[in-house]
Amino acid sequence: MEGKFLYKIGEVADILGESVSLVRFWANEFSAFIHPQRNAKGNRLFTSEDLQTMKTIHFLVKNQGLTLEGAARKLKADRKKTPSRMKVVEALEEIREQLLEIRSSL
Burial class (CB in 10 A: 0-12, 13-18, 19+), 32: exposed
Which domain covers residue 92, as residue numbers? 6-105
Q: What is the CATH number of the domain that holds 44?
A: 1.10.1660.10
In a domain, 1, yes or no: no
pLDDT (tens, 9 = 90+) of the chain, 106 residues, equals: 556 789 999 999 999 999 999 999 999 999 888 999 998 998 999 998 899 899 989 988 998 899 999 988 888 887 666 666 667 777 778 888 889 988 888 8
Question: Rounded to an integer, what distance in angstroms lies between the CA atom of residue 9 and that of residue 91?
Answer: 25
30: helix, coil or strand?
A: coil
User: How many folded domains does the chain comprise?
Assistant: 1
Burial class (CB in 10 A: 0-12, 13-18, 19+), 85: middle
How confident is the model at residue 63, as a pLDDT?
Answer: 86
Question: Rounded to an integer, what distance in angstroms lies between the CA atom of residue 104 and that of residue 10?
Answer: 34
CB 52 within 8 A of CB 38: no
In a domain, 71, yes or no: yes
In a domain, 50, yes or no: yes
How confident is the model at residue 4, as a pLDDT?
Answer: 74
How confident is the model at residue 106, as a pLDDT?
Answer: 85
In a domain, 18, yes or no: yes
